[in-house]
Structure formats: structure tokens, C-alpha cells
Chain A
Amino acid sequence: MASRRFLPSGFLILAALAVSGAAAAVDRDTAQLELTQAVTAVQTAERDDAARYAPADLDEAHSMLGSAQRAADGRSWDDTALFAERAKVAGDLASARSRQHRAESATAEIERSVDSLRHEIGGAP
């Protein structure tokens, strides 16, 4: 249960509102906050070179962010929050996959280098 504190707040709020039967009305400030967090996540993914290592995930994040920004332009705060939340997790996933790809590539290169050294040492007279 303790792990639940790590949950994205938006998802918990949305789930709680839906379960309680209350209208899931999101105010402007909440929607803008979600949007800001989404922009940050997507920018972080770009800095993490996701365009190179996780292009599909980054494209999805951009698409969701675009939908959130259009919803914000239309003052539809519910949709803004919904798409922003999606953009944020899609951006986070792009960053994570980019990190995974870079780490695995670097490790594979070191592994090749170690194999080569082992071969040299093993083959030495």
C-alpha cells in the first residue's frame, strides 16, 4: 500500500472521482499544471535523445501533448488534463526506453572489448 504514494496524482484523482460518481470536472489551474508537467516530460525525453532511441514513444508523447494544447486553447480543461497526463507518461516512457537503449549499446561495446581482450590473453604464448 505504501507504494501507492508513487502513483501519478492525476490518475488517482480521476479514478477517485469516477468511483465516487462525482463529475470529473478539472479546473483551469489543475489542467495547466498537468500541461506544464507534460511539456517538461516531453522536453526531457528530447534531451535524452529519444528521437534517436525511442522515436515511436516520443511521437506518441508529442501527439498527446498537441491534443492537450488544442484542448487548452478550447478551454476544455477536462480534456486538457486527460491528454496532458497521457503526454507525460508517454514522455517518461520515451526517456526510459532511450536510457535503456543507450545503456545496452554501451554495455554491448564493452562486452565486445572484454571478449577481445580475453581472446588476446588466452591466445598469448
Chain B
Amino acid sequence: MDKPLTKNIDMSRPPLEIAQYQAAGGYESIRKIAAGLAPADVLQQVKDSGLKGRGGAGFPTGLKWSFVPMGDNAPREKYLVVNADEMEPGTFKDRLLMEGDPHLLIEGMIIAAYTIQASKAYIFLRGEYIRAEHALKKAIAEARAEGLLGSNILNTGYSLEIVLHTSAGRYICGEETALLNALEGKRANPRAKPPFPQVSGLWGKPTIVNNVETLCNLPGIISHGVTWYQGLGKGVDHGTKLFGVSGRVRSPGCWELPFGTTIREVIEEHAGGMQDGYQLKAFLPGGGSTDFLLPEHLDLALDYDVIGKAGSRLATGTMILLDDRTCPVGMVGNLMRFFSHESCGFCTPCRDGLPWIEQIFVDLEEGRGSEKDIGILEDHLGYLGPGRTFCALAPGAMAPLGSALRHFRQEFEDHLSSKGCPYTRH
């Protein structure tokens, strides 16, 4: 099976240097472009490939790019920004790519920037990803020395500079417009949409913000073609995806698998199944801001629509497993504390709603909860729901909360009747 994203990754050794990377077929896509692919051609291929954004929303990448104004009347300055601020709870897939094969990201960036004709690209990197920072810095320098970055790349007349920016932190910087504000040196509050970044983004100029994994898909598409790419998947969506598992499994980790792989296969074959003495109770299929799914969903295929129809989201594709000996209320409370703390403080429901929720969980845990509190939690589901808040942070937080209240109502009640958490810590 082809693994275009991770074929060069071997975490037991340093990532490939540029010579080895090229020897393994790296930067072939750039040479193909230099040989005569116009931006519009690249755009068409990406559109045809059916590539969807891997940051969580699953928006078609080619469509996103097509909103960027092109041609002579388009603004001269445009930007590509890589969202490498991977902070979704339970998510560690971009880290693998950047630490394991930094040149793949750079190659993808050149393709994307060339397509929208951006002359500058920024990597907005999570501050704690120090190994990724070192790897990327080295790779950028190598690519520049090789003439793959800088002015007049491979005599195409096209020039590109990459700036690596390490974030000062905060989950909200993963929201693409908050990321842009942070990059401009402003408070990391999200921006109103519309206008979308494709029209008015970084420094007010047309900007594409793409996730690391999304960009890493591009070299394969351009080098090997759309047909090859579409042949990778087993299900509805095309290509491969990094899927991760955390929780009480035998070997938690992250693997590149085709779309359409079943959840059961990921958990049982790749993650080695549950540890002894633990049963799977439920799981968040795509990181901390997705709805719980139950063991009955294990045979679903990992495709955006399939998971969507089951009432959750594929999102980042990194699952967090809840076992039968861990308190679901405690798990959700932990997530609520995270989301509450990471609210930027701009809009009212998120800023003032999440801390209340967080406090209710503390009270439930410490035996001070009441039936009224559960009502207040339910009240907040709608109040912090999609369309009510300024960005998707609070609705994301409501996904695990709402599904937990549906699936684990008894556990919530138990916290009231037993004046605290009935689970024993272990």
C-alpha cells in the first residue's frame, strides 16, 4: 500500500536530508511544474483529486484556493499560511509529519503558493514543537541552497520565501483568522467571516491557510497524478489520512491509512486493541471537539460523510478513547476546563458560558452538583451552539458535552446521588 505521507518517516533516525529526500522522489512535483505546469493546471489537478482539508473541517482544498483572486487585476501580494498550530486535544498527526519529513511540507507549500501565486509563505508553528522547528529550519535552509526556495525557482520566474513563525501559544491560534491576527502581532481573536481570508487575509491581502497534512498530500498528487491519488482510498474520500488513537489501547499512535478504513481496524489492528481489563465505552473520533461515538459505531468507515451521518465529525482523525473504568464526566470536565481556558474572551457565550460549565463539572466532581446544574449544562448546549458564537471554538466544546449528556446521563445522575465521582481513580 502506498503511503505518500509517511513513506520517508522513520522516527528512529533523523528526517531525510534534501539529497536523500530527492533521491526518494522528493521535489519531483516542483520539477514537473517547472517543466510547464501553469497555476491554473495545478489548481485543476488539486480540484480533480478531491483533496479535502485535513485541519478538521474537511473543506475541499481546490475549491478554497479557487476563491483567491487571480490574474492581472489581483493584488500583487498574496500569502500562503500553514496552520501548524496543532493544539486540538488528542491530536499529534502534524507533529509526526513535520518532525519526520519536513521536506514534504515544504514541497507541498511550494505547490500551494505557486498555485495562488503567493511570494511569501508562513509556517505558524505551535511553540512547543521544538523538534519540528529545528527540522523545518534545517529543511528550509537546504531547500533554499538547492534553489527550490528564493527567487526564480528552477528558472520558472516564480519566487517564494518561507518564514517560520513559532507561536506564543493558545489553542485559538488554530482558528485560521485568529492565527492571522496573531501573525500580525495582534490579539489572537478570530475575525468576522465574510470576508474570508482568500479575499482579505494576512495584512489584508488574499491568503490561503492550509493545514500541514493537507499540504503534505500535494506532492503525491502532482508527482503521480490524480488517478493514482484517487486509487489510494478505500472509501468515499480520496487519498490517505493520518489516523491516531489515544487512550487505554495497547499501542497508541498515529498511522497513515486509506480513507474508508474502519474504526475497528484502526483500534484493534493498529492500536493493538484495548489494554487488558479495559473495555471500550465510547470514543471521540476526531479530537476533543467532536461528538462521542459508541462501540456500535466501530464498523463505520473513516470517511467525512460517514462519520458525519453517525452524528459526529471525522475532524482531525485522531481518536480519543474512553474506557469503562474512566469516568466520562471527568473526561468531559477535563475538556471543558481546556476549552474554557482557551476561549479568547471575545464573544459573550464562549467567554462567560464555558467557565460556568467548567465550574459545574468541578462541583459535580466534588459532590456539590445539583439537578439544576445539569439543566444549566443542557441550556448551554443551544446557547453555545453553531451560529450563536463568533467562531467554532464553543460549538466544538459543546460536541463532547452534548453527546456525553445524551449517552452518559446516568453517570451524571450518579455524581449527584453519590455526592461526587463514583469511579475510583486508577
Are A and B genuine complex partners? no
